[in-house]
A and B are shown apart, each in its own frame.
Chain A
C-alpha cells in the first residue's frame, strides 16, 4: 500500500514539475506547481509529518499559490517569449545541474544506515511538535511573526502606486 501511494504521488510530483518547465503560459505553470505541492503533502503524510502535510496544503497550495494565480491574472500575463536565453546558462548552467544531480544521486544511493518507512510508523503528532515549538523555540517563533509583519509592510510599500499617498486619497475624497 505504502509503495503504491509513494509511486503514484512521486509520478504526480515529477509530472507536475516537468509540466511546469514545458508550459509556456504562466497560469499553467502555476497550476502544475499546485499539483506538485499537494503531492508533496501526501509525501509528508507517508513520512508521518501530519501537521506539516496540513500546513503544506493550507499555506503553500492554498495561500501562496492563490497569491501567485492572483498576480498572474492581475498582470494579464501572456504567453512566454521564446528566446535563446543567456549563453552562460546553456554552457555552464545545464552541465552543472546534471553534475549536481549525479553527485547527489550517487551519494544518496551509497549512504548506509538510511531506514525505511511504512504506514503508521514514526508519526509525529501535532502535540509533540507544538511542545517543542512553544517550549524550546518560542523566541524564533515570535521573531517570525515580526518578519511576516515587515514583509506585509514591504509588500504594501512596493506595490503602492507611485505618488499616491493615503493623504492624497483623503484630500481628494473630501
Chain B
C-alpha cells in the first residue's frame, strides 16, 4: 500500500505530454479529413499546455499558468476562424477530403 501514497514524478506528466503531441503529429500527417486534421492540431495544443502547467508546478511560477490561459484564448479564436475557413472550403469545393483540395498544387 506504500505505492499508493507515493507522489507522482513530474516527468510522467511530461512524458504523457510528449506522447500526446506525437499522436497529434501522426494524426496531422495521416488523417485525410480536413476536420480531423484540425482536431489533431487541437490535440497538439493541449499536449503543450500540459507541459506548461507541469513546469509551472515545478518552478511555482504563476505566469506559466497564465500563458496556458492565453493559449486557450488564442486556440478558441483559431478554432472559430479555422472552422469558418472549413465551411468556406466545403461551399466552394463540396468536399472535406484534403486530397481533393489541391488547387495550389497544379
Contact = CB atoms under 8 A, between A and B. Distances in A.
Interface of A: 1-4, 6, 10, 13-14, 17-18, 20-21, 26, 29-30, 33, 36-37, 40, 43-44, 46-49, 51-52, 55-56, 59-60, 63-64, 67-68, 71-72, 74-75, 77, 80-83, 85, 89, 93-94, 97, 100-101, 104-105, 108-109, 111, 114-118, 121-122, 124, 128-129, 132-133, 137, 140, 144, 147-148, 150-152, 154-156, 158-159, 161-162
B58 to A, nearest CB: 6
Q: How large is the interface on B (under 10, 10 to 19, 20 to 34, 35 or more residues)?
A: 35 or more
A89 to B, nearest CB: 4
The A contact surface, by secondary structure, is: helix
Given A80-B32, A94-B26, A47 B6 contact: no
A83 B80 CA distance: 28
Contacts of B39: 20, 26, 29-30, 33, 68
Interface string B58-82: 1010110110111011111111110
A60 B46 contact: yes
B32 A144 contact: no
B72 A55 contact: yes
A67 to B, nearest CB: 6
Given A3-B3, A151-B80, A108 B22 contact: no
Contact of A85 (B32, B56, B83): B32
B60 A52 contact: no
Contacts of B72: 55-56, 59-60
Contact of A80 (B9, B36, B81): B36
Contacts of A115: 9-10, 58
Contacts of A43: 13, 16, 50, 53
A60 B42 CA distance: 9
Contacts of A94: 26, 29
A18 B30 CA distance: 13
Contact of A52 (B24, B27, B69, B90): B69
A94 B4 CA distance: 37
Contacts of A121: 7
A16 to B, nearest CB: 9
17 contacts: A3-B4, A26-B33, A26-B35, A26-B36, A40-B50, A47-B53, A49-B57, A52-B53, A52-B68, A52-B69, A83-B32, A89-B30, A104-B21, A124-B62, A129-B69, A133-B66, A151-B77
